[in-house]
Amino acid sequence: MNYIWEVVGRHPTGQQPTGEETIQKLCDRVASSTLLEDRRDAVRALKSLSKKYRTEVGTMAMDHLVRILQTDRTDTEILGYALDTLYNIVCSDEEEEPEENQQKQEDDLGAQFTDKFIRETDNITLLLTLLEEFDFHVRWPGVKLLTALLKSQCAQVQGIILVSPMGVSRLMDLLADSREVIRNDGLLLLQQLTKGNTAIQKIVAFENAFERLLEIIIEEGSSDGGIVVEDCLLLLLNLLKNNSSNQNFFKEGSYIQKMKPWFEVGDDNSGWSAQKVTNLHLMLQLVRVMVSPVNSPGATSSCQKAMFQCGLLQQLCTILMATGVPADILTETINTVSEVIRGSEVNQDYFASVNAPSNPPRPAIVVLLMSMVNERQPFVLRCAVLYCFQCFLYKNHKGQGEIVATLLPSTIDANSISAGQLLCGGLFSADSLSNWCAAVALAHALQDNLTQKEQLLRVQLATSLGKPPVSLLQQCTNILSQGDKLNRRGSRVQTKVGLLMLLCTWISNCPIAVMHFLHNQDNVPFLTGQISENLGEDERLVQGLCALLLGICIYYNDNSLENYTKEKLKQLIEKRIGKENFVEKLSFITKHELYSRAAQKPQPAFSTPEHMLFDHEFTKLVKELEGMITKAVLRSSEEEKQEEEVKKTLEQHDSIVTQYKELIREQDSQINELKEQVTLLTSQNEKLQNTITQQFSQIQQHKDQYNILKLKLGKDNQQTGNQAEAAHVNGLQPEELSQLREQLEELQRQNQLLQTQLTEKHSLITSLKAEGVPSAEGSTSEVTELQKEVELLKAQLQSQTAEITQLQSEKKELLKGSETTAAVPGEDSVYTEKIAELESRLSAQTAETQKLKVEVKTLLESKELMDKELASATSTAAIMQAEKSKLQQEVQESKKEQDDLLMLLADQDQKILSLKQRLKDLGETIEDEDDLDSRDQFDDDDADDDEEEEEECDE
């Protein structure tokens, strides 16, 4: 403590300062010292006093410490002292173990200082900013302080962090810190941060928390790891429990597959440490969170499928059948397997195929049921086995049939123990808990399965030697109705309730079972006697269940037994019990406290065996039947007849409606088929019409060709002799003349095509030139040059055309001359020379035409290039035009605003002039310098006019 006295100064001898005085002087030193060293020493002294004088330091020094965090950000040492001091103020010393009252006072004091600190939300933001500091002496105390604040005032601090920019992301960075102490304390911080806040849980999950936490678990040794693994698992539970979004993200990220190595337990299961048991227990809870019955069915089903595909279910079943596993881990594993297979057909089938490693191998279901009906097994283990059996049979008609089949005479194997034998043994044992568990398990084998209810009526039991066997239904009712057996076989409420629940489940919605039950003459008197008696408080539940059983016999009665028809049973109730009394006794079931507990969730959760009275599925049955039975009992015979008539009418109406619906469906299907046929036939018709049209056109073409050939043949027959002689005389064969004609026609077509193309290009270039924009001057000049070349080419083609025309005319004259002068011998050589000259000129024209084609192709390529340039220029011009329009609009708006301002100024000037005139009329003196000079800035002419008006007013 010497350095404290050095900071605060020494007192005269004999006067020791009090703690409060010392703290006050230290606070003054922190507030007033200009040297950083002095402030640092004062804060260090406050830190040393903060545990002993927690109240005084918190009251007087908190504001100064917060100011230190704000101003002395560059000195990490003083920041660390300030954060440690604030932590000591907010959080009590954990090393000591105070008494309960003292602990409550410490917590209240910490809550007060926390409220004071978070009253300014900027303090939490400041603390989050300091956590970005990598220095150990700042980051570690900052993490501890924020954790303490969350423990004290969790909801308020969570709200501040949630709205703080990047607040959660800064805290997630703690998991990536290489220093284990900061990483581990960061896990504790995130545990407090994610408690009960779904929004923060989602943010943490999407900050890649799952990936990082699973990596840490693997690094620390998975289930064999230490307390760090436990912290990671607790944080994962916070993120996933009751958070469907995070559960879906966990599944979609394939993190379920990464859980499988957690459950790889070796053969040697002896000597499990307490930490390993805790870790594995939390891991099993994580699996259960993903497949919990309270989740949506779709999400649960997908998780169950993923667990089977990755081998996680197989791994859990291996633990289930392993030896040396601690009892609590075995119990939790059974509960986990139960929820993994619940409602999943694939998983249920796999579980049915699992065998225990015994000699000979036994099914896992049989081994588990042996534990359930064994009264020496722990109570929680027996409850877990019952839950597992219930989940195996949930929506599993195949499994229900297999269980019931083990009770039928044709399938009983005397050399092996079956599930049905175990259930019957537990049903009639001396242990009431075994009675109840076996009854509930057997009821689940009949749940929503009419076939198995009828099959179970075939089960026969051998009661004793020399007596005929009795049915299982008869044996259950005998135990209930015969008082001597009740006294000997456990007359406690638990056994009665179990048997009554089994019977209610069995005969509900099964008229055949109702008939079998009523066939025993002792059953109805027993039920009416139980209901009408005034029994104690414990027996009221039994009375309610007896009323429910009798009500089921009325509601599902098919009137096949003359002595126990619906009407006679209701008359019996009215005479011996009374309808109101019957309904009141029936309501005892739902009013029971344990009924409400059982209705909350499927898993049987009972604190003691005596509380084990109701099954979850049975509560659903009671809720469904209570109203219907009440109406059935209270209704009179006339009302019932009317209701039956209405029911029959409705059934007839429904049957008629069903018939019409089926007829409409058939007609719809026929209409759809006919529509398809019409569509197909229409398409085929169109194809055939097209084919016919093509064939007609081809026939017409053939007719035309035939007529032309017929005409040609007629002419050829008349001129064959003359043409042959003339061609022979001129030295030309008819084949050569036809070739010359074809060449001339081809040249004419090519010439015409070139002229058409040149005309189109010329018109296009002219239009482009006319639409040209100022920004495309270079393109316009190139277009002009291209146009000149086209004009030149056009002139050449015109001259060529003229020459070809001249050649054609000369050819015609030669042909005529050859026909008329065929007999003149001296002119043959002349015509031969002319024809040779004509052929040479035609070949020259053909070559020139090819050359022109090449030039036209070049010009076309140039034209395409120019088109692209003109298109770009046009788009540029369009953009400039749009900008121009926008600027013009802005100019118009500016002009409009200026006009409005001018109007306002003119009105203001007029008001000022009128006011001046009034002042002058009242005798006040007005100086000329007060004229409106501001108007001169807008309009000089208006200003001159105003001055003239003011001078006139002065005069």
Strand 460-461 with 355-356, pairing: unpaired
Query: What confidence score (pLDDT) does residue 71 get?
Result: 87
- CB atoms < 10 A from the CB of 218, how many? 14
**Cα–Cα–Cα angle for 116, 121, 126, rounded to 5 degrees:** 105
Among 260-264, 355-359, 524-528, whose mean pLDDT is lowest? 355-359
pLDDT tens figures, 105-157: 666 787 888 888 888 888 899 999 998 888 899 999 999 999 999 998 888 99
Listing DSSP states for 47-83 in one string gives: HHHTTTTHHHHHHHHHHHHHHHHHH-TT-HHHHHHHH
Tokens of 326: 């601690």
Can you tell me the distance from the alpha carbon of 920 to that of 932, in angstroms, rounded to the nearest whole number?
Answer: 17
Confidence grade of residue 391 (pLDDT, cut at 50, 70, 90): very high
Is 60 exceeded by the pLDDT of residue 790?
no
- Higher-confidence residue of 402 and 410: namely 402
Residue 363 near residue 413 (C-beta atoms within 8 A): no
pLDDT tens figures, 881-916: 777 778 778 778 877 877 877 787 787 778 788 787
- Per the rule left: phi > 0, alpha: psi between -120 and 50, beta: everything else, 860 is alpha
Residue 461 in 3-state DSSP?
Answer: strand
For tokens 């283990």, what's the residue?
381
pLDDT tens figures, 54-83: 888 888 888 888 898 888 888 889 999 999
Query: What confidence score (pLDDT) does residue 727 get?
Result: 42
pLDDT tens figures, 473-523: 998 988 887 643 444 343 478 889 999 999 999 999 999 999 999 998 888
Tell how far CA 886 is from the center of its chain: 46
Query: What confidence score (pLDDT) does residue 385 get?
Result: 95
Residue 430 near residue 486 (C-beta atoms within 8 A): no
H runs (alpha helix) in 577-615 = 579-586, 588-591, 593-598
226-245 as b/e: b if 16+ CB within 10 A: eebbbbbbbbbebbbeebee
The arithmetic mean of pLDDT across residues 41-47, rounded, is 89
Residues 6+ away with beta carbon under 8 Å from 188: 147, 231
Can you tell me the distance from the alpha carbon of 634 to that of 574, in angstroms, rounded to the nearest whole number?
Answer: 9
Residue 42 near residue 80 (C-beta atoms within 8 A): no
H runs (alpha helix) in 771-827 = 777-820
pTM exceeds 0.85 for this model = no
Task: Note the residue count of the chain.
Answer: 955
Quote the mean pLDDT of the chain. 80
Residues 6+ away with beta carbon under 8 Å from 300: 290, 291, 292, 293, 343
Residue 547 near residue 585 (C-beta atoms within 8 A): yes
Is 90 exceeded by the pLDDT of residue 288?
yes
Residues 6+ away with beta carbon under 8 Å from 315: 260, 263, 264
Is 90 exceeded by the pLDDT of residue 200?
yes
Query: What confidence score (pLDDT) does residue 234 get?
Result: 95
Confidence grade of residue 462 (pLDDT, cut at 50, 70, 90): confident
pLDDT tens figures, 701-749: 888 887 888 787 766 665 554 544 444 434 444 565 566 566 667 766 7
Select from 844, 840, 811 the least CA-distant residue to 730: 811
* pLDDT above 90 as % of the chain: 33
Query: What confidence score (pLDDT) does residue 757 get?
Result: 65
Select from 472, 463, 532, 469 the least CA-distant residue to 503: 472
Give strand ranges (E) for 844-912: none
